[in-house]
Amino acid sequence: MLEKLIFCGYNLEDDNLDDEYEDDIIEDNEQTFFTADRVVHLDSDYACDKRGFRRGNRCTAYNHIRQDLLSRYERKDPLLQEKIREYRRNILLKNGVTPQQIGDVDEWKIVGLTDRKARRVWLNINEIIHTCETKFLLRKKVVCIKVNVEEANSIQAQLLMHMSLNSMIGIHGAQLSHGILLPQDGSILEILPWIPRNISDYGEWTDTTDRPTPLGEIFHGTTLNHLGFRLGRESVPMCEHLGWSDKGLKACLMNETNDNHIKFNWSDRDFNVDVDMISKFISLFLLKEIPNCSRMYKRAEENDFVI
């Protein structure tokens, strides 16, 4: 059985774990639990409810949780940072960078593209990686790799897989919660699925651009940068003979005789991503220094990204 790293909720009022484990780690054959430090309780943090986010994103609870998790991992394994650097070095070597070219591994940017074997499969991920290698590998010291949590055979492997990244890119609902493990100033790009309201509004909360998505909320108030990008009609490899304005598009996408109505559901739908959009994200947000939040918002708005 594959061990999984599971992020659970924090509750300051009740602790159903035995007192002897309060400041330690509980391990059994299948799971590893980290009990929580006394961080602010999300349910009682006024700034962390939905209206609070609209009032100005003053929620700090998620940052407390993130710092609590990271400090516990460090205490459990004092050699963790050394292991992360070695893991990064091996990534570079596997991607054709010679030891002489590597130099200081901390100078490199590693971008993880979330990869899945079923449901919400990133269809043109190999094309993205090839373009990244051509444009950025040696000239800008950027390497793009696939990250698939299903292929990590231990909890430590999952930690190293994500803590070695500078940036993480993936579709909503596909492994991005592990982005909380990224180092300070890391970037998460949440790809928002195409949800045409005149065809089906199921999943409308996943492509919101006027407030954080349910996933995006966990990155607000942290030292991580979270952006979103909404996909369009071209991302859906279905009924490609019909354009967005064609009258028969809805009937084709909702066709039950060939199971299109199931395949089109955002939670099952495979997708393509514009190669230029990924290149733009790397160039504008990963490689260019952004001095303050107002500049970040301006740069995002000018290039069709949302924060």
pLDDT digits (tens, 9 = 90+) for 228-254: 999 999 999 999 998 877 889 999 999
Alpha-carbon gap, residue 126 to 138, rounded angstroms? 18
Give the helix ranges, DSSP H, for the chain.
50-54, 61-76, 80-94, 99-102, 125-140, 155-163, 249-253, 260-263, 275-281, 293-302
Domain topology for 82-302 = Rossmann fold (3.40.50)
pLDDT in tens, 76-99: 999 999 999 999 999 999 999 999
**Better-predicted residue by pLDDT, 48 or 107:** 107
Q: Are 233 and 239 in contact (CB under 8 A)?
A: no
Considering just the CA atoms, what is the radius of gyration of the chain in Å?
21
Alpha-carbon torsion (244, 250, 251, 257), positive or negative: positive
pTM > 0.75: yes or no:
yes
User: Which helix (H) or strand (E) element contains residue 188?
Assistant: strand 187-192
Amino acid 290: pLDDT: 85
Domain regions of the chain by residue span:
1-76, 82-302
